[in-house]
Structure formats: structure tokens, C-alpha cells
């Protein structure tokens, strides 16, 4: 019997993304025994795993149209296109998205680049599910490059292009492509998106193949990353074999004995479960071989068993390895990583730094679920932090000091906020200065509150808080500051709090002031809502104030916005102006010179002949030229003369009498404007029917 030595590459078997997807699949089956559960595409390129899931009732489909409406659909680690997700949503499916965080990161890079108009290039295998999903994020067609030769054959690489890679692409080939592309575009436009586990796996496999007589690559022949491992090994070791199970290894044993093989290297693709790796190693071990781990040079059986076993309810330390939108993943030195709900972390927790530094934290083991394919370990950070944070909340309650909390849930009459695992109830009347109707808008927000109740004596800790109390305290302090420094013409930035028929109330920082409706606009308005709305930010100044009655009168309209601002300079007496006839009365016509700026041309200043009314020669909308006779800014009046420039005479003699049905206003042609306006007003009043 030959004395073989077997070395197992450290990074062998399931990668994080596949492990998460497979574990989730078994959990969903267990939790929903009566539900129809679909696997959209093979969850992993491993026939054993897929076959086992199908035997437990899961249904394999390849298109979203094959899925029944309202069913559960599992999205594999490779991810899918946005169009697929949209189809499933329209079918009201419950989507369990197990897309690998590394793949989601590529989706985000590609989506943002495409939206910004950058051409997108992807290094990877054409038609691979992961590559198809990435391409789906582009409205414009993405270019997929599978080798350096294909890259060199490209007719034109645009300078503003963005490059990413399939997570399991050959790191060696990607490096060659990068060196070529960097001659044409900026280095910052190339994103190294090959999974770090993939890079480590390929590097270790290449090193192991270089010192082994035989290399055994365990995995599926349909797996992209397994094929790349096989190619790496074949370049360095003549006797390289790709096997999918222990049965495929047995026929090779006698051949290896005859060839006097001394060292056998073993690696496994990212889709290969540990159970299959164990079976292959055990098959070779039964033939009297020495089985070693590459890193520690120990027996393979000892290597598996030496992994620390977690216990439920234990408190352990671990390092943060990665995170996604829902969970933070922690290496707790077990076969599988544990996960913590992201909501358990503080609002300002720096996830990126924690992942980069592999930040060590203390965690509590809530549950461990064993499946045929591994473990699902649920951890809690808030449980560990609870006692510490409970003491801090109690101290804040006693000292009346504010604390920052995050709203995590909405209940009937308020919200539940969390302070490091301590739940705090905030009633809807205590969220703001006025009662809140839309509680959902607060979910996920961070708020500063005062702890108003702390009751540790009952079976369950009861804590209540108030943001309103804190806001009232702040408002009172600001009000005292304003009343101590207020002065006429002082300017403030404020927020419109409410509107009435007579004006708008504005909060200028703890104190409300009133902008009268007449102060909102230089033009006549019927209601403040024509100018401002509740919540608008406005710049105001103090017109008057009464400290005893706590009243402040505010100004809003700006002098420079007044149509009569510097009118003497803009339209001096004697100048020639041009305007449009907008209104006519018997005594004259109003001509619009500028928006909201009208001038009166008296009936006697229109024609060389005496007119009964302006309508004899003018029509609304007609453009005319006139000479400025008088400008009175204080009276807000401008008088002009058309006949001083170009008199408009009637084509026929004016009628001696007006039609009987037309009301007449007897106003001498020489009458001043004030008398003419009063006469028109009196007739209008007489023609208005009295209320019965």
C-alpha cells in the first residue's frame, strides 16, 4: 500500500454567497412546509445539492413566467436582472433574494455607471447567470470580454468606460486585461470585483498544484469557478482530475499506486458542500493515506473536528467579515459564519470600516439550525449590549439628558425606538410639537429624545420617551434668546407654521411672528396660500413687536420686488413708453407697461377729437406708444398720453348717444383720475342687486 500524503487547500468548498443561499433554501423549506417554493435557476452548480432540495419539494424553473402567482421564489447567489424581479413583483410573489453581496456591489457599480452615460465592460464568461444579471443593470448594451485576446481585438475602448469583473473570473486573466486597459483609461475606472475568496482559492490552488503529483478538483463540471480551478491545476500538474463525488475517485486509486504518487493535492469549487469534500477525503484515507490540511499539517478528520462548536445562549467574540442590506456576517470560528440583523447596530455604525478592519465584537448566540448542507447561526449584538445600554438609559432618565435612538417599528398609537437593544415607546403626540398622523415616515429615522419613563421593576422593562418635551425645551430656550435680542428691521430665517385669512404665522426659531396678508405681496391677494404654504422656509424682517403681549409683526415682501421700486429712474416723466391696453373705463384706458405695472391714459389723452369712451378707438390687447405725463410713486400712479406721441382718431364720427342698455357714467373729460374712479365705483354699486 502506498504511503500517500493528501493536502487540502484551506479555501475549499462553499463560498460565503453560496453557503448563504443554500442555508436559506433549507430554512425556507422547513419554515413553509405547505407552500410552493420555486428555485429560479439552479441555486448552485452542484447536482447533489440541487437534487436534495428538489427531493424536499422545491421546484426548479428557469424563467419567471413559469412561477405561479403569490408563491415563494428563491433568487440564487448569482443574482438576476431587474426585469426578472419586476415580473415576480407583478405576480405578487414573495421574493427571497440570496444574491451574493459581492455580486450586488457589481450591480450597483454598473447601474450607476450606465445611468451616468459610461460604457460598461465586464470580464467574465458570456452567458453565465451572474454575467447575465450584471448586464441586466444596463439600459445600454454592456460588452462582455472573456480573455485578453478578446480585449485586444476590441475596435475601440472608450476613455470614459467602466470595467468590472465576474466574481469568479480568473484573477490572472483579469490582471492581464487590467494592464492592457490601463493604457487607455484611468485606473479609477477599473473595479477589482473578483471575490476575495475566489482570489485566495485560485492562489492557494496554483501553489498546491505546483508541489503535488496529483491534483483532485472537487466540483461540478458546469461550475465556472470549478473549471477555472481545473485549468489552473492542469497548467502546473499533469495528473489533474475533476471529480463530482467520492465514487469518481475510486477507479483512480490503483492507477496512482502504480504511478508511485507521493503527494495528492485537493481543492474544491465554491459550489461544493463540505459533505462531498469529506467523502472524497475519507475514500482516500481508507486506503492508508496521510491526510493533511495545507495550513496546519494535521489530520483531515482532526481538521474538521477541531473547528470550535458553538452553543446556543453562549456569548462569544467574532470578527465582522461582510454585510448586506439586512444582515452583518461574523466569523465566530465555526464551520459557518453567523449573521446579525443590521438593525441591531447603532445608527452611526461604520459598516465599511468594520468589514475592512475585521472589527472584533462580542455576540450572543440566539439559535443554531443544522441542515444537511451546514448551519444557520443567528447572532445578536443587542443582547450583549442590553445590560450596558439599560444602565445608560437609566442614567439618562435620572439626569434628564437626551439620548439618540433609532425608530425600528410602528405600533398603533406610536413607534418603538431602540437604544442598543433597549426598546423605547414614543407616543404619536410625543414625536413632534404637533400630533403626528404619518407614523411610517419615522421608521428608520434617528431621533434625539428625553427618557420620560423608566420602570425596571416589572417582569419586562418598560421605557418611554418624548421628542416633543425636548423640542419644547429647545423652543423655549430659543424664544428667550430671541426676545433678548429682537429689534426692528432685524432679519430672520423662518418656517411657515400656519395660515389664516389675515396672514401667515412664521416660526423664527422658538417664537411665532405674523406676516399680514398685505405684507406678503405687492399685488393684491385674497389669501396667504397664493404666496406661501405651510412648511415653506422664508426670509423675514421685524416690522414691530410687543414683548409684553408676545407679538411680533413681520415683513416679507422686498422693496426691490415692488413694481414702483425706483420708478422715477426707470420711467421718468417725458419718456416714451410702449404697452398693452388691459382694461378700459369711460374715463380712460389702463395700459400695462411692465408685469403688475399699469399706467392710466385719460380719455382726453387718446385722440385729437373728443371721444365718448376709449372703446371708440382702442381694444384690449392693442399695443400703443405713449408719453409719460406724471409719475407719483407714493400714490402708486402713472399718467400717460397717447396723443402726445401718435393720436388715435376714430375712422367715423363718434355716436352722439350710447346704446340704451349700456350704463353711462357722466364724467367730464377734464375730470381728475380720482373723481373718474369714484364715479365708476358708484355706478357699479348701483348695478349690484341687493341681497334679499
What pTM was estimated for this model as a whole?
0.40
3-state secondary structure 400-423: CCCEEEEEEEEECCEEEEEECCEE
CB 605 within 8 A of CB 647: no
> Do residues 332 and 363 touch, judged by C-beta distance below 8 A?
yes
Q: Is pLDDT larger for residue 163 or for residue 49?
A: 163
Q: What is the DSSP string of 622-641?
A: -EEEEEEEEEETTTTEEEEE
pLDDT at residue number 107: 93
Given a cut of 80, is residue 670 above it in pLDDT? no
Residue-level pLDDT at 629: 92
Report how far residue 398's alpha carbon sits from residue 676's, in angstroms, rounded to the nearest whole number. Answer: 76
> Residue 285: in which H helix or E strand, if any?
helix 274-285
| More confident site: 383 or 591 | 591
Domain 567-655, CATH 1.10.3720.10 — does that match? no
**CATH number for the domain formed by residue range(s) 101-194:** 3.40.1010.20
Domains 101-194 and 384-471 fall in the same CATH topology: no
Q: Which of 451, 449, 418 is nearest to 344 (CA)?
A: 418
pLDDT in tens, 526-576: 898 888 888 888 888 888 888 888 888 898 877 777 788 788 888 899 999
Q: Which residue out of 130, 137, 199, 376 is catalytically annotated? A: 130
Q: Kindly report the CATH number that applies to the domain delimited by 384-471.
A: 2.40.50.140
Summarised one tens digit per residue, pLDDT across range 612-650 is: 899 999 999 999 999 999 998 878 889 999 999 999 988
Euclidean distance between CA atoms 490 and 25, whole angstroms: 66
CATH, domain 486-557, list 3.40.190.80, 2.40.50.140, 3.30.450.70, 1.10.10.60: 2.40.50.140
Chain centre to alpha carbon of residue 81: 19
Indicate the domain borders of the chain.
Answer: 101-194, 315-380, 384-471, 486-557, 567-655
For residue 504, pLDDT beyond 60: yes
Q: Which three cell numbers stand for residue 40?
A: 429560479
pLDDT at 102: 83
Q: In the CATH scheme, what is the code of domain 315-380? A: 2.40.50.140
Question: Angle between the 171-181 and 196-210 helix axes, to the nearest 10 degrees?
Answer: 110
- 30 annotated active-site: no
pLDDT for residue 179 is more than 60 = yes
Contacts of 406 (CB under 8 A, 6+ apart): 343, 346, 347, 417, 418, 444, 445, 446, 447
pLDDT at 2: 52
Per residue in 25-40, pLDDT (tens digit) is 888 988 888 888 999 9
Chain segment 413-441, per-residue pLDDT in tens: 899 998 877 889 999 888 887 778 888 88
Which triple of cell numbers denotes residue 29? 423549506
How would you list the strands of the sheet with 214-218, edge to edge?
A: 239-243, 214-218, 263-268, 5-8, 290-293
Report phi then psi at 323, rounded to 5. -155, 160
Q: With a cut of 80, say whether residue 252 has pLDDT above it.
A: yes
DSSP string over 163-227:
EEE-TTS-HHHHHHHHHHHTTTS-GGGB---S-HHHHHHHHHHHHHHHT-SEEEEES-TT-HHHH
For 71-80, give one letter per residue: b (16+ CB within 10 A) or e: bbbbbbbbbb
What's the pLDDT at 559?
Answer: 74
Amino acid at each position: 500500500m502506498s504511503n500517500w500524503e493528501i493536502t487540502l487547500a484551506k479555501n475549499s468548498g462553499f463560498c460565503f454567497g453560496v453557503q448563504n443561499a443554500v442555508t436559506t433554501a433549507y430554512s425556507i423549506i422547513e419554515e413553509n412546509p405547505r407552500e410552493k417554493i420555486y428555485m429560479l435557476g439552479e441555486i448552485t452548480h452542484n447536482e447533489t445539492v440541487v437534487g436534495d432540495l428538489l427531493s424536499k419539494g422545491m421546484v426548479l424553473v428557469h424563467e419567471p413566467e413559469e412561477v405561479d402567482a403569490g408563491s415563494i421564489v428563491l433568487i440564487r447567489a448569482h443574482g438576476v436582472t431587474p426585469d426578472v424581479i419586476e415580473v415576480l413583483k407583478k405576480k405578487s410573489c414573495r421574493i427571497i433574494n440570496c444574491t451574493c453581496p459581492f455580486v450586488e456591489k457589481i450591480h450597483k457599480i454598473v447601474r450607476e455607471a450606465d445611468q451616468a452615460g459610461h460604457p460598461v465592460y465586464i470580464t467574465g464568461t458570456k452567458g453565465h447567470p451572474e454575467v447575465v444579471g450584471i448586464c441586466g443593470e444596463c439600459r445600454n448594451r454592456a460588452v462582455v470580454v472573456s480573455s485578453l485576446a478578446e480585449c485586444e481585438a476590441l475596435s475601440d475602448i472608450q476613455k470614459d468606460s467602466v470595467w468590472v469583473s465576474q466574481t469568479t473570473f480568473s484573477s490572472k486573466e483579469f490582471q492581464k486585461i487590467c494592464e492592457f486597459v490601463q493604457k487607455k483609461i484611468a485606473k479609477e475606472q477599473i473595479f477589482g470585483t473578483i471575490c476575495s475568496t475566489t482570489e485566495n482559492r485560485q492562489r492557494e490552488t496554483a501553489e498546491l498544484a505546483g508541489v503535488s503529483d496529483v491534483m483532485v478538483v472537487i466540483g461540478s463540471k458546469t461550475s465556472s469557478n470549478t473549471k477555472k480551478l481545473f485549468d489552473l491545476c492542469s497548467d502546473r500538474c499533469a495528473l489533474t482530475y475533476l471529480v463530482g463525488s467520492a465514487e469518481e475517485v475510486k477507479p483512480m486509486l490503483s492507477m496512482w499506486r502504480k504511478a508511485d504518487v507521493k503527494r495528492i493535492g485537493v481543492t474544491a469549487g465554491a459550489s461544493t458542500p463540505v459533505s462531498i469534500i469529506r467523502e472524497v477525503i475519507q475514500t482516500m484515507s481508507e486506503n492508508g493515506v496521510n491526510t493533511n490540511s495545507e495550513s496546519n499539517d494535521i489530520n483531515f478528520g482532526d481538521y474538521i473536528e477541531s473547528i470550535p462548536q458553538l452553543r446556543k445562549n453562549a456569548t462569544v467574540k467574532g470578527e465582522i467579515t461582510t454585510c448586506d442590506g439586512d444582515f452583518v456576517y461574523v466569523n465566530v470560528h465555526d464551520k459557518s459564519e453567523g449573521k446579525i440583523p443590521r438593525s441591531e447596530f447603532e445608527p452611526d455604525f461604520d459598516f465599511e470600516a468594520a468589514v475592512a478592519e475585521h472589527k472584533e465584537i462580542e455576540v450572543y448566540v440566539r439559535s443554531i439550525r443544522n441542515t444537511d448542507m451546514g448551519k444557520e447561526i443567528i447572532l445578536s449584538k443587542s443582547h450583549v449590549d442590553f445590560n450596558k445600554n439599560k444602565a445608560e438609559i437609566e442614567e439618562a432618565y435620572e439626569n434628564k439628558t437626551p439620548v439618540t435612538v433609532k425608530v425600528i417599528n410602528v405600533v398603533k398609537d406610536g413607534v418603538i425606538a431602540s437604544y442598543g437593544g433597549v426598546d423605547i415607546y414614543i407616543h404619536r403626540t410625543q414625536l413632534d410639537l404637533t400630533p403626528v398622523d404619518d407614523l411610517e415616515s419615522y421608521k428608520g429615522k434617528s431621533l434625539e429624545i428625553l427618557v420620560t419613563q423608566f420602570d425596571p421593576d416589572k417582569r419586562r422593562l418598560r421605557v418611554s420617551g418624548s421628542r416633543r418635551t425636548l423640542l419644547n425645551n429647545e423652543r423655549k430656550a430659543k424664544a428667550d434668546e430671541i426676545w433678548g435680542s429682537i429689534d426692528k428691521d432685524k432679519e430672520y430665517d423662518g418656517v411657515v407654521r400656519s395660515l389664516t385669512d389675515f396672514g401667515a404665522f412664521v416660526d423664527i426659531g422658538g417664537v411665532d411672528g405674523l406676516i399680514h396678508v398685505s405684507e406678503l405681496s405687492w399685488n393684491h391677494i385674497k389669501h396667504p396660500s397664493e404666496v406661501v404654504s405651510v412648511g415653506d422656509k422664508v426670509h423675514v424682517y421685524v416690522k414691530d413687536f410687543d414683548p409684553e403681549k408676545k407679538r411680533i409683526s413681520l415683513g416679507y415682501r422686498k422693496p426691490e420686488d415692488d413694481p414702483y421700486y425706483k420708478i422715477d429712474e426707470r420711467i421718468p416723466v417725458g419718456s416714451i413708453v410702449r404697452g398693452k391696453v388691459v382694461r378700459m373705463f369711460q374715463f380712460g384706458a389702463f395700459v400695462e407697461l411692465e408685469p403688475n405695472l399699469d399706467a392710466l391714459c385719460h380719455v382726453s389723452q387718446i385722440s385729437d377729437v373728443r371721444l365718448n369712451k376709449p372703446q371708440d378707438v382702442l381694444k384690449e390687447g392693442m399695443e400703443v406708444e405713449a408719453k409719460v405725463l406724471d409719475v407719483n410713486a407714493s400714490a402708486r400712479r402713472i399718467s400717460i398720453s397717447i396723443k402726445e406721441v401718435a393720436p388715435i382718431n376714430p375712422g367715423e364720427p363718434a355716436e352722439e348717444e350710447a346704446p340704451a342698455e349700456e350704463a353711462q357714467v357722466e364724467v367730464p373729460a377734464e375730470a381728475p383720475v380720482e373723481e373718474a374712479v369714484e364715479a365708476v365705483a358708484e355706478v357699479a354699486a348701483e348695478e349690484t342687486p341687493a341681497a334679499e
